[in-house]
Amino acid sequence: EVNFMKVLMFSGSPKREESVGNKFLNMIKDCLHECDPEIEVDIYIGSECNIIETDGSGNEFVTGKTLYNDDMLFLEKKFLESDFIILSSPVYAHQVSSYMKKLIDRLAYWLHLYRLAGKFGYIISISSNNGNEFVNKYLRSMMEYWGVLVVGESSIETTKINSDQILESYARFVCKKILSVETESVIDVPVTQEQTFEIQKDNYLKRESGFERDFWKQHGYFEMESFEELFRRKLREKNE
């Protein structure tokens, strides 16, 4: 049984409510609430958020704090409180939208900290007919660096979607994926995520000081034999 699960969806669409991507996210939300009305679902649309572009100073890597007093303060809190994260972006020139990129750039300082370990994720890309695989690969990489365990992806090509019924069937599939993580006992961590954890662990063990090394030490990462062990620990802490 799913109890008070928190699902966060972030859309990189500039079109707001009328885009295929945002319509799809709302379908997933409706499907989740049909299954369990107590699931908390928040949808944030990049074009409606005040996210200032990074200034390139790298100060956030030193201080461990976001650069500006904008919507990222609120969004970071929401990401950290969530159990399941969906990133959805249109495909522009085989890349994510600028709205999605701004979010990722501002969360770049989380890429070494596994701030989202213990959370599951899903990726959605929307194109007219090609380029989804490039966006999916990029978003998967970013989520894995944040510590998210990605359980699937949907590549939507709008030229092949000729009815809302098709979109709704996709939404039901994603809904099942989200609900299944609450009962899934097997944690299948990708080899790439394990390798990255080992490389970063070795790197920070060699450092004598710095915010990132201190963060790893304070949060007990050095005691973890693997990323899977860290993920399971975070999952336990969240459910306690």
Write down the pLDDT at residue 70.
96
Distance of CA 7 to the CA centre of its chain: 10
- Report which secondary-structure segment, H or E, holds 187: none
- Is the Cβ–Cβ distance between 128 and 121 less than 8 Å? no
The CA-to-CA distance between both ends of the chain, in Å, stands at 16
Q: Mind listing the pLDDT tens digit for each residue in 190-239?
A: 999 999 999 999 999 999 999 999 999 999 999 999 999 999 999 988 87
DSSP-assigned states of every residue in 120-136:
EEEEEEEESSS-HHHHH
CA distance linking residue 220 with residue 170, whole number of Å: 39
> What band does 15 get if pLDDT is binned at 50, 70 and 90?
confident
Contact status, residue 96 vs residue 138, Cβ threshold 8 Å:
yes
Q: Are 2 and 41 in contact (CB under 8 A)?
A: no
Summarised one tens digit per residue, pLDDT across range 73-123 is 999 999 999 999 999 999 999 999 999 999 999 999 999 999 999 999 999
Give which of 150, 151, 90, 98 is closest to 125, Cα–Cα. 90
Question: Does residue 165 sit in helix, strand or coil?
Answer: helix
Q: Name the nearest CA neighbour of 22 among 10, 31, 7, 35.
A: 10
Bridge partners, 156 (sequence order): 126
